[in-house]
Amino acid sequence: MPTKIRRCVAVYDLHYPQFHKATWEAILDYVKQNPPDEFVFGGDQLDLRCISHHTKNQPLYRVRRGYKNDLEGFERVVLKPLEAALPKTCKKIWIKGNHEDWERQLVEEQPELEDAVNHVQQLQLLERRWNIIELGHSYMLGKLAVCHGEILSGFGAQAGTYPAKKAADMYGRSVLAGHSHSPQMFTKVSPVDHTQKYQGHIAPIVGSKNPDYARNRPNAWINGFVIIEVQPDNNFNLYSVNIINGRFSFAGKVYGK
């Protein structure tokens, strides 16, 4: 009998509005032609520099109406086209990243903003049937733990050299994370039972590879996304896809413009 394979698309670190539009459009092209059973936003969907503690004394990055503009733009440019492309039966997962967590940090300083600065409420994600995973928590996709990965490092190019190894060591199981923007994989084996092997995976980024705050600093960031196929016994295959200049090939077919 044929087995039902669950296909999942995982997208990390979009950082809207600091995102690579051609990369996102290539992912949408794939999603439209290969409807997934599950879709995961792996964190840092929104950049939110307008409320970041990093820009607290940098008014150039805090434009008037910046927060509302970012959410409205994200809904128009990213969320609505994605939801139109996903099948109605698709399970939608929204993992909060450290950038989304800046809302909580702002409210801790200014509690009068509680509920006014809340992207889950403003974008009506629960009403749109998104499953919300809080920062620091994981979503299980078969035997694969899916998380944002902020626990692995500082941020961006300041991450450790081998976050995939750190992920495998820390979680003690196969795990997919993002946050450090540079795709990576590390395999760990149990010294007690050599048949027990698991892998740490770091996803590529959908955001800009050279945002202005980086000041052209060299980094290993690569645009792309992840495809996971889960078998009925919860074993899985994971394919990290690099997208170059808005195009990629998978299973003999080219996607993107």
- Indicate the pLDDT class of residue 156, thresholds 50, 70 and 90: very low
Strands 197-202 and 175-177: parallel
Are the C-beta atoms of 26 and 246 separated by less than 8 Å? yes
Reduced DSSP (H G I as helix, E B as strand, rest coil) percent helix, strand, coil of the chain, to 5: 30, 25, 45
Inside any domain, residue 235: yes
Nearest to 179 by CA among 195, 162, 199, 159: 159
Question: Is pLDDT at 5 greater than 70 in this prediction?
Answer: yes
Inside any domain, residue 97: yes
| Token code pair at residue 106 | 């702002």
Inside any domain, residue 256: no
Inside any domain, residue 1: no
pLDDT tens-place string over residues 92-143: 999 999 999 999 999 999 999 999 999 999 999 999 999 999 999 999 999 9
Counted domains in the chain:
1
Q: Which residues contact 137 (CB under 8 A, 6 or more apart)?
A: 95, 147
Lowest-confidence range among 52-56, 150-154, 248-252?
Answer: 150-154
Are the C-beta atoms of 55 and 103 separated by less than 8 Å? no
**Spatial distance between the Cα atoms of 176 and 26, rounded to a whole number of angstroms:** 21
Supply the range of the domain harboring residue 82: 6-248
Inside any domain, residue 255: no
CATH of residue 209: 3.60.21
**137-165: average pLDDT:** 84
Inside any domain, residue 253: no
Inside any domain, residue 66: yes
Prediction pTM value: 0.94
Question: Is pLDDT at 155 greater than 60 in this prediction?
Answer: no
Inside any domain, residue 185: yes
Q: Any idea what DSSP says for residue 40?
A: E
- pLDDT given at position 39: 98
